[in-house]
Amino acid sequence: MALATAIFQLICPDRPGLVSEISGWVAANGGNIRHADHHTDGGAGLFLSRIEWDLDGFGLPRQAIPAAATALAQRLGGEGQLHFSDHLPRVALFVSKQDHCLLDLLWRTKAGELPMQVPLVISNHPDLRQIAEDFGARFELLEINAATKAEVEQRQLALLRQETIELVVLAKYMQVLSANFLQNFPKVINIHHSFLPAFTGARPYQRAWERGVKLIGATAHYVTEDLDAGPIIEQATV
């Protein structure tokens, strides 16, 4: 079993000495660095860093590391995020009628390919209840239409709080989340079957074929109020 590590991501104004200061902080606490990636965005004047180190032998107790990392980020005038490699985030899947995305995510989670937990599946149709429950997930049916959208989204948010959900993944949910939902729970990922920013919205493959496009693909992105326009996480072409 792999030893647990801490992963710290930082973004701050660029200046000389940042790599030394960050790695020096880890070393000063007895940390053994596993990976370190640093990047400078010259146009924006920003420094971006991701550094990972072993928890075994680190001088700070685990519960004290987040506050210490936050203090480091503030000292550098930036923002940071810290997480631990052995933490499995609690993820809710929003689905509709089609089962292929749900099955793929649940099987990969069960096999250990995706380091996460799926305690909750929310759907606006009853079709996928058995699949969710077979994998040990709580299934909640919340039918939605234009008249009930605001009320249903409040119930969805309550379920996310109840299950201490950290991330939502839209797995062929086929509904657009409202601005109010995203303001209350912004950590939502969608997979759109086109190479964004091309062919947003419905029928992207059909529209790509009509335009004579030679390569198609898929994009994982964070969900924002604008359809298929959120920050891109990863892309692949076929």
Catalytic residues: 228
Cβ neighbours of residue 60 under 8 Å, at least 6 residues apart? 29, 68
Name the residue among 161, 101, 99, 154 with its Cα closest to residue 131.
99
At residue 8, the 3 state secondary structure works out as strand
One-letter identity of residue 151: E
CB burial of residue 224 (10 Å; 0-12, 13-18, 19+)? middle
- Residue with the two structure tokens 């990976």: 35
What's the order of all strands across the beta sheet hosting 138-141?
Answer: 138-141, 117-123, 90-95, 167-170, 188-192, 217-222, 232-237
Distance between CA 103 and CA 88 in Å, rounded? 19
Name the residue among 109, 111, 133 with its Cα closest to residue 123.
133
Q: Are 102 and 171 in contact (CB under 8 A)?
A: yes
Q: Are 165 and 137 in contact (CB under 8 A)?
A: no
Instruction: Please tell me whether the peptide bond between 197 and the residue prior to it is cis, using omega within 30 degrees of 0.
Output: yes
